[in-house]
Amino acid sequence: MQTSHLELDSGHCGKRECVLNQLTWLKQRVDFFIPGVEKAGGFSICSSPGLLQREGVIELAVKYTQHPPAHWIHTRCVVDSLVEMRVGGDFFYDPLPSDPSVDLLLVAGGVGINPLYSILTHAADLLRQNPHNTEGGYNIGSTHLCYSAKNTQELLFKKNIIDICQEFPDKFSCDFHVTAQTTEFDPQLQPYVNRGRVSKEKLRGHVDPDTTLCYLCGPPPMIESLVQTLLDSGLSQDRILFEKWW
């Protein structure tokens, strides 16, 4: 358990927290213990290990709810507030330079984007270290993100995701899916946005049983359906990692 000072950055979809600490590795989540708040909070990390190494910072994207820890973050937390937190989880991407290349397929539903955005930015950081896949460096394959939300306003990190796809057009790609938007899409988002849920056909188009490693995070019905689609597409169980949120 470590005590952390907080820096805050508010946004329209939630509050991002920059947690200044001396952690040595970035995993999937933090358990958040707030003085005076009886209930602990569990939040997924949305930043890459590289940010921790460069700046000593991890980021949490916390949606406004009445859940006591989230409510405290949005209504009472200020710069330099002290909390205790414990880092854990096993839903992360941690390749070694000696590992063979894999093609990442990331599938997110709603706030399930948080750990997958961390993985996506980590893959981009590693690619920047070895852009030509030279011997001795990280051998990074392709990364495709399928991300579903109710509307485009709820697509967190969309600008940063698009920026990465434009920085590495041969390596990174994304499909945004919105399920309940009746208005027109922003022209800048238009090339990336589809109406409706992530389809089985769309998913199958990004599966190679020999090279694909798939991470999924979202509501249980979505995960259960898409895991079966991946299995039916020939992807082995050990290449499918998922985290359900409730």
Check whether residue 170 and residue 76 sit in a common domain: no
Looking at residue 1, its pLDDT comes to 56
Q: Is residue 113 situated within a structural domain?
A: yes
Q: Is residue 144 situated within a structural domain?
A: yes
Sorted by sequence, the CB contacts under 8 Å of residue 4 that are 6+ apart come out as: 19, 20, 21, 82, 83, 84, 85
Check whether residue 207 and residue 233 sit in a common domain: yes
Domain stop point among 59, 88, 117: 88
Looking at residue 92, its pLDDT comes to 78
Looking at residue 160, its pLDDT comes to 97
Q: Please tell me the distance from the alpha carbon of residue 46 to that of residue 168, in angstroms, as a whole number.
A: 20
Looking at residue 17, its pLDDT comes to 53
Check whether residue 13 and residue 124 sit in a common domain: no
pLDDT tens-digit series, residues 59-99? 888 888 999 999 999 999 988 888 888 888 776 788 999 99
Check whether residue 82 and residue 109 sit in a common domain: no
Check whether residue 67 and residue 127 sit in a common domain: no
Domain stop point among 88, 114, 143: 88
Q: Is residue 56 situated within a structural domain?
A: yes
Q: Is residue 97 situated within a structural domain?
A: no
Domain stop point among 35, 58, 88: 88
Check whether residue 201 and residue 137 sit in a common domain: yes
Check whether residue 207 and residue 110 sit in a common domain: yes
The domain of 231 spans 103-244
Number of structural domains in the chain: 2
Instruction: State the Cα angle at 16 between 71 and 95, rounded to 5°.
Output: 125
Q: Spell out, as residue ranges, where the chain has pLDDT lower than 50.
A: 10-14, 16, 20-27
Q: What's the pTM value of the predicted model, to 2 decimals? A: 0.87
Residue-by-residue DSSP string for 49-63: HHHHHHHSEEEEEE-
Measured between its terminal Cα atoms, the distance across the chain in Å is 25
Looking at residue 56, its pLDDT comes to 83
Check whether residue 137 and residue 230 sit in a common domain: yes
Q: Is residue 187 situated within a structural domain?
A: yes
Check whether residue 230 and residue 133 sit in a common domain: yes
Check whether residue 157 and residue 238 sit in a common domain: yes
pLDDT tens-digit series, residues 3-16? 555 555 544 444 54
Please report, for the domain that includes residue 35, its CATH number. 2.40.30.10
